[in-house]
Amino acid sequence: MKNYSIGKSRRIRSTPYTSRIEKQGVTSYTTYNHMLLPAAFGSIEDSYHHLKKYVQVWDVAAERQVEICGKDSARLIQLMTCRDLSKSKVGRCYYCPIIDDQAGIINDPVVLKLNEEKWWISVADSDVILFAKGLAIGNNFDVKIIEPNVDIMAVQGPKSFKLMEKVFGEKITKLKFFGFDYFEFKGTKHLIAQSGWSKQGGYEIYVENTKSGLELYDYLFEAGKEFNIKPGCPNLIERIESALLSYGNDMDNGDNPYECGFDKFINLDSNIIFLGKEKLKQIKSEGIKKKLMGVILEAKEISLSRSLDIKDEKSNKVGELRSACYSPHFEKVIGIAMLDMTFLRMSKSVKIDIKNSTYNGKVCDLPFI
C-alpha cells in the first residue's frame, strides 16, 4: 500500500489556493516551477468525464509569470521566441516556443502583451526568468525582469461560459479565444483571458489581488452549484487526447520546434531577430530526424514515470513514448511519442513492452481528436 506525501518547504511553494484545495480533496500533487500543482482529485477518469460536461476551477498558480517591462522589453521577448511578435496586439495572448541558440526548446509559454513596454511570459516548467535575465545582461537591455505575485485560477469546461457570464456579466461573453481584458468582481479588477490547458473551453483569471481572488474562488463554487462545479486540475487524459503538449514530458531542450510540430509558430522570413534563427534555417533545409506523433496501443492501462522505448516489428528501437494514459474515448492506451523519421517513412506499426507484456500499436497524427 502506497502511503506517502510531498514534503512541503519554501523550495516547493504552496499557492494561495492550497489550503482550499486540500479541504476540497486534492489527492496528488506534482511540482511545476518550484510550486505545487494539483494532479488529481480522486479518479482522473471521473474528473475527465466531469470536465467534458460541466465546469471546474483549477489552481494553476504554478504557471508563473515572468514580467518583462521597459524600453527594450519587446526586443527581449522577440529575441527569445521564433514566433513573429512584430504585429502583436495589446490584450492578446500568444503561444510562443522559446528556444536557445541551437534551436532547443527552453519553454512553450503563453505570452501576454499588457502594453507596448510590459509583457508577461506565462511559463511552463523551466526557469525562463534566469534565461531572460542572462540575455538582458549580455545585451545591455533596458528592462526590468521579475516574477510578480500572480496566481492563475482557471475555470474550464463547457459550463464555464455560463458561469463566468453569471459572475462577470455579459461583457465577458465578447472575449475572443486568447484575448484578455479586465473584469470587475466586487470592486476589484482582474485580468481574465479566454484560454486554458484543456480543449473544453474556459478562462484563466490572473489573480494579482490575492484577497479578492480568494473571495472570487469561494464565490465561483457558490455560483457554480447549478452548473455542477467541482475542483479540478489539468487532466492527463483530456490533455493527451487534445494533444496539449507538456514541457519536460513531451518535449525538452533536446528537441527543436519543427520536431514538435510547432511549424505554425516559426517565422523565418520576416526580419525579426531571435536566438536560434540560423539553426532553424539549417534544420528546415536539412529536414528533421525525429518527430512527435500520436500512438494508439492495444493495451488497457499504463502509468509512465519515465519514457518507454518504442520498437518496430523487428524489435529495433525507433523512438520513445513520453506521455500516455488509458483513453475512455478510444478504449485503448494512447500516447505522445518521439519517433525516428526513417522509421515513420516506412511503417506505422510499433511494439512496446509494458510491465512484462508486449503490446502492438499504430502511429497516428496529433491531435487524436
Complex with ligand THG: residue 62 or 283, whichever CB lies closer: 62
Q: Which residue in the set 73, 88, 194, 195 belongs to the binding site for ligand THG (CB under 6 A)? A: 195
Complex with ligand THG: residue 70 or 179, whichever CB lies closer: 179
The answer to whether 337 and 319 have CB atoms below 8 angstroms apart is yes
* Whole-angstrom distance, CA of residue 350 vs CA of residue 335: 12
Asked whether position 145 contacts ligand THG by CB under 6 A, the answer is no
- Closest approach of Cβ 197 to ligand THG, in Å? 3
Q: What is the dihedral of CA 55, 59, 60, 66, to 10 degrees?
A: 130
Asked whether position 124 contacts ligand THG by CB under 6 A, the answer is yes
In the beta sheet, which residues pair with residue 69? 118, 144
Q: Which residue in the set 51, 99, 244, 260 belongs to the binding site for ligand THG (CB under 6 A)? A: 244
Which of 96, 134, 128, 130 is CA-nearest to residue 112? 96
Peptide bond between residue 367 and the one before it cis (omega within 30 degrees of 0): yes
Window 163 to 182, contacts with ligand THG (CB under 6 A): 178
Query: Which range binds ligand THG by CB under 6 A, 116-124, 224-232, 277-285, 329-337?
Result: 116-124
Longest dimension (CA), the chain: 66
Complex with ligand THG: residue 196 or 213, whichever CB lies closer: 196
- Closest approach of Cβ 93 to ligand THG, in Å? 7
The answer to whether 120 and 66 have CB atoms below 8 angstroms apart is yes
Length of the chain as a residue count: 369
Residue 21 burial class via C-beta count within 10 angstroms: exposed 0-12, middle 13-18, buried 19 and up: buried
Asked whether position 95 contacts ligand THG by CB under 6 A, the answer is yes
- Closest approach of Cβ 121 to ligand THG, in Å? 9
Asked whether position 81 contacts ligand THG by CB under 6 A, the answer is no
- At residue 268, φ and ψ (nearest 5 deg) are -95, -15
**Residues sharing a CB contact under 8 Å with residue 213, sequence separation 6 or more, in sequence order:** 16, 151, 153, 190, 205, 207
* Whole-angstrom distance, CA of residue 359 vs CA of residue 369: 22
In the beta sheet, which residues pair with residue 321? 308, 337
- Closest approach of Cβ 33 to ligand THG, in Å? 9
Asked whether position 260 contacts ligand THG by CB under 6 A, the answer is no
* Whole-angstrom distance, CA of residue 306 vs CA of residue 155: 30
Query: Which range binds ligand THG by CB under 6 A, 12-20, 189-197, 220-228, 307-315?
Result: 189-197
Complex with ligand THG: residue 18 or 194, whichever CB lies closer: 194
Asked whether position 152 contacts ligand THG by CB under 6 A, the answer is yes
Complex with ligand THG: residue 141 or 180, whichever CB lies closer: 180
* Whole-angstrom distance, CA of residue 156 vs CA of residue 177: 13
Window 14 to 73, contacts with ligand THG (CB under 6 A): 63
- Closest approach of Cβ 9 to ligand THG, in Å? 23
Q: Which residue in the set 36, 110, 310, 334 belongs to the binding site for ligand THG (CB under 6 A)? A: 110
Q: Which residues bind ligand THG (CB under 6 A)?
A: 63, 95, 108-110, 122-124, 152, 178, 195-197, 204, 244-245
